[in-house]
């Protein structure tokens, strides 16, 4: 069966690293006979420039019709002061909301060959492998009321609302528990139940669900401030972390940075399985659009390539093919190839294209 992919390269380095993924996709078609039906469109600043909006309704519709979305990154300093409704970021926020992509899976993994890239001591991060499951369509990102109002004296008041319902918490917790069973079997649920009622409900719902359906998984609870500390103190204590949208935003970025190699980390954002058994899903590297190095051909394409590997695993259950890509990436690193962002002193960096080609060459050997 044909697999429909929507490719959205976005801004900055998005297009040039997506170009390298195309080689891997082509390799899969050629050697495994997988038929991909690929369409591509503009999002973020690239869409604003051409269409005046960060994402068109047609693109949302195409994303809904696709089996999976492969996303680059959005964000462009050109639009920094363009107003709240014309932020490139709206593209990803709208995709999450319109497709109901409620569970963001963010692995923070230290690659053996790159253990020295971290600012943390190697003995603290070697072998690190955390999976953060972040809720992505609720919480303060989307809660109403929201906005800025002018007070009688002319000064202003900015408001946002954090809202979580039992159903929203349960479905994302389920994803975390299910993932834990395939890994270290431990889930740490993170909130601020000591100051926020929404966090208190979060903790209660996770605790209840655990007792009802996941008693075989080890569950712990941690306050978000403590979690930020523990990630620095002893990050390897974590297996799966589940948390809300805002805490997840900070904590998953923090966890990524512990690895020292943002350019290596992919992510998946999954929706609910529908009656026909289809599950909307979007895959993107965790790094941003990196406008400072865009167009120079020096960006690291591996996080985008590994996002495609996650796509094969989670959207098409092609575990063997997903693992093959991961193996190829690990081998390329082991052979000493480095883009500038993951280079140690004394190494010579390779270009985006050389790195992409090397992965395909490695795939040929496997």
Ligand X SMILES: CC(C)[C@H](C(=O)O)[C@@H](O)C(=O)O
- Residue choice 249, 321, 341, 362 for contact with ligand X (CB under 6 A): 249
Query: In angstroms, what is the minimal distance from the CB of 294 to a copy of itself?
Result: 17
Residue 271 and residue 273: Cα distance in Å, rounded? 7
Residue nearer to a copy of itself on the CB measure, 161 or 335 = 161
How many CB atoms sit inside 10 A of residue 347's CB? 12
* Close Cβ partners of 61 (under 8 Å, ≥ 6 residues apart): none
Nearest distance from residue 336's CB to ligand X, in Å? Answer: 31
Is 106 one of the annotated binding-site residues? yes
Q: Does the annotation flag 294 for ligand binding?
A: yes
Does 253 participate in catalysis according to the annotation? yes
Q: Does 180 carry a binding-site annotation?
A: no
The answer to whether 92 contacts ligand X (rule: CB under 6 A) is yes
92 binding partner (options ligand X, a copy of itself, none; Cβ < 5 to 8 Å by kind): ligand X
Query: Is 108 labelled as part of a ligand binding site?
Result: no
Q: Are 105 and 267 in contact (CB under 8 A)?
A: yes
State yes or no: residue 225 binds ligand X (CB under 6 A): yes
The binder of ligand X chosen from 40, 89, 129, 218 (CB under 6 A)? 89
Active site residue 225: yes
- 314 as an active site residue: the answer is no
Active-site option among 11, 67, 76, 249: 249
Kindly tell me which of 287 and 338 has the beta carbon lying closer to ligand X: 287
* Of 82, 33, 30, 29, nearest in space to 54 by CA: 82
Structure tokens given for 84: 């709240």
**Residue 179 · residue 131 · CB < 8 Å:** yes
195 near ligand X, rule: CB under 6 A: yes
Query: Which H/E stretch holds residue 303?
Result: helix 302-316
| Near ligand X by CB under 6 A: residue from 62, 93, 254, 257 | 93
- Torsions phi, psi for 99 (to 5 deg): -95, 0
User: How big is the chain by its Cα radius of gyration, in Å?
Assistant: 20
- Give the separation between CA 75 and CA 90, rounded to whole angstroms: 10
Which phi and psi (to 5°) does residue 51 adopt?
-110, -10
Confirm or deny that 327 is annotated as ligand binding. no
Chain residues that interact with a copy of itself, rule: CB under 8 A:
84, 87, 89, 93, 119-121, 124, 140-141, 143, 146-148, 151, 155-167, 192, 194-202, 205, 224-226, 228-229, 231-234, 246-247, 249-251, 253-254, 256-258, 262
Residue 198: CB partners within 8 Å, gap ≥ 6?
A: 139, 162, 163, 164, 191, 244
Are 28 and 62 contacting, i.e. CB atoms less than 8 angstroms apart? Answer: no
Residue positions annotated with a catalytic role:
141, 192, 225, 249, 253
Binding residues, by number, are 96, 106, 134, 225, 249, 253, 288-300
User: Which chain residues interact with ligand X by CB under 6 A?
Assistant: 89, 92-93, 194-195, 225, 249
């Amino acid at each position: 069966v044909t697999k429909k992919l929507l490719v959205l390269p976005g801004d900055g380095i998005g297009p040039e690293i997506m170009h390298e993924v195309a080689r891997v996709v082509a390799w899969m078609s050629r050697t495994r006979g997988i038929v991909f039906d690929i369409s591509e469109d503009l999002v973020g600043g690239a869409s604003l420039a051409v269409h005046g909006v960060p994402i068109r309704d047609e693109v949302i519709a195409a994303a809904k019709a696709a089996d999976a979305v492969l996303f680059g990154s959005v964000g462009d300093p050109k639009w920094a002061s363009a107003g709240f409704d014309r932020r490139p970021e709206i593209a990803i926020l709208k995709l999450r909301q319109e497709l109901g992509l409620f569970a963001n899976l963010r692995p923070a993994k230290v690659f053996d060959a790159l253990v020295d890239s971290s600012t943390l001591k190697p003995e603290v991060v070697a072998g690190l492998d955390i999976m953060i499951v972040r809720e992505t369509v609720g919480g303060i990102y989307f809660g109403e009321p929201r906005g800025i109002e002018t007070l009688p004296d002319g000064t202003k008041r900015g408001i946002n609302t954090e809202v979580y319902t039992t159903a929203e918490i349960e479905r994302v917790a389920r994803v975390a528990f299910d993932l834990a069973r395939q890994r270290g079997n431990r889930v740490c649920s993170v909130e601020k139940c000591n100051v926020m009622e929404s966090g208190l409900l979060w903790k209660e719902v996770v605790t209840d669900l655990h007792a009802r359906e996941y008693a075989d998984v080890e569950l712990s609870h941690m306050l978000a401030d403590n979690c930020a500390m523990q990630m620095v103190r002893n990050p390897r204590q974590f297996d799966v972390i589940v948390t809300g949208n805002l805490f997840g935003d900070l904590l998953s970025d923090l966890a990524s940075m512990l690895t020292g190699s943002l350019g290596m980390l992919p992510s998946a954002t999954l929706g609910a399985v529908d009656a026909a058994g289809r599950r909307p899903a979007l895959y993107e590297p965790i790094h941003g659009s990196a406008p400072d190095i865009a167009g120079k051909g020096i960006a690291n394409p591996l996080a985008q390539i590994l996002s495609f590997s996650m796509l094969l695993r989670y959207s098409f259950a092609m575990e063997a093919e997903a693992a093959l890509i991961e193996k190829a990436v690990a081998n390329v690193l082991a052979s000493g190839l480095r883009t500038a962002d993951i280079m140690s002193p004394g190494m010579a960096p390779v270009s985006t294209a050389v790195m992409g080609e090397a992965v395909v060459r490695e795939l040929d050997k496997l």
